[in-house]
Amino acid sequence: MTFQHDEEHDARATPDSFETAGRAPFWRRRFRLRFSTPRPAFAGRLSRAVAAAATRLRRPSPSTLALVTGAALGVALLLAPNLRSILLDGYTRVVGTLSSRPDFIIRKIAIDDAPHVSDAEIIAALGISDASTSSLSFDAHAARERIEAIGWVRAAEVRAKPPQLVEIKVTERSPDALWRRDGKLALIDASGAVIADDLDIAKGKFGGMKKDQLLRLPLIVGPGANTAAAEIIAFSAQARAAKVKVLSWTRIGDRRWDLELLDGPRIMLPEDAPKAALDQFLTWAKDTDLMKHGFQVIDFRDISEPKARRAG
């Protein structure tokens, strides 16, 4: 590159004119920077040279990789007018070259906090199909989405730590209820998300839980009932505290609930203010032997005037 002095500017500049016209003194006169090599071509050769230099590194550390990549991008930033394409080209060359080195092949996977999810399930979701996946080209975001598609997983953190490590931390869902619909039984959390949908207690399929743990969970029944699971989980705890044994909670028309008591009547809750109706029933149940009276249905849909019907 060469510098060319602006002679025309010098001819107009005099000691007196600097002060009156506000022109800069001679040591701050303009210079035009000319390149003997076209800038895009120069930057392209530079990115190839940096990539070639990277191949000669025996075992580049993350800091070395950052230094090499930063040098390529920094010089390209100064010299290239077509900045975006040059930056991407230089970065792709450096990372592509280093990614193919065996020093960056993923060989270690650390998994934390996943008691109900097997390591095999998580590793399969990572998408590391063979022993040639580089930690530099590994897509942690896509791997996290695949892991979070596993029923038990509520959230996951996936981090690639070059040169050879991937770390995974899993937050599991809380098993809060059983959901029966269309003859199928599923394990769900309070949000209604399905944790396991192939439960069969008779065949010993407990969705990763123990049988006695499953039987303590509230059972909700009906299409769409899972979307209102949080409400029933709270109602169920309230009934259990009152020592009222509820067999199931059935969603009616996606509007309200019916309670099926164990060895007792069906309780019909209203669409509006179901908690107030439940409170009234539980208070009544403390002082009334429901079985002795032979009630089959107790209707609280009109909370101001409950109705009870006996069998027959």
Element holding 120 (H helix, E strand): helix 119-126
Say which CATH number the domain at 118 has: 3.10.20.310
How far apart (Å, rounded) are the C-alpha atoms in residues 233 and 249?
10
The residue ranges of the chain whose pLDDT is under 50 are 1-38
Does one domain contain both 96 and 113? no
Does one domain contain both 181 and 168? no
CA dist 260 → 26, 230, 285 (Å) = 97, 18, 14
Q: Where is the domain boundary, 102, 126, 154?
A: 102
Please state, as a whole number, how many other Cβ atoms lie within 10 Å of the Cβ of residue 270: 17
pTM metric for this prediction: 0.67
- What's the total number of domains in the chain? 3
Q: Assess contact for 188 and 178: CB atoms under 8 A.
A: yes
Q: Where is the domain boundary, 146, 172, 198?
A: 172
Tokens standing for 190? 């309070």
Q: Which amino acid, one-letter code, is at 221?
A: V
Tokens standing for 46? 């530079």
Does one domain contain both 162 and 185? no
The domain in which residue 166 lies consists of 103-172
Does one domain contain both 93 and 50? yes
How far apart (Å, rounded) are the C-alpha atoms in residues 97 and 51?
6
Say which CATH number the domain at 254 has: 3.40.50.11690
For residue 114, the model assigns a pLDDT of: 83
How far apart (Å, rounded) are the C-alpha atoms in residues 18 and 15?
6
CA dist 26 → 5, 21, 23, 34, 69 (Å) = 11, 14, 9, 20, 39
Q: Assess contact for 153 and 169: CB atoms under 8 A.
A: no
Does one domain contain both 93 and 114? no
For residue 241, the model assigns a pLDDT of: 93
Strands, DSSP E only, in 81-183?
Answer: 108-112, 153-161, 165-172, 177-181
How far apart (Å, rounded) are the C-alpha atoms in residues 219 and 186?
10
For residue 234, the model assigns a pLDDT of: 95
How far apart (Å, rounded) are the C-alpha atoms in residues 97 and 252?
62
Does one domain contain both 221 and 135? no
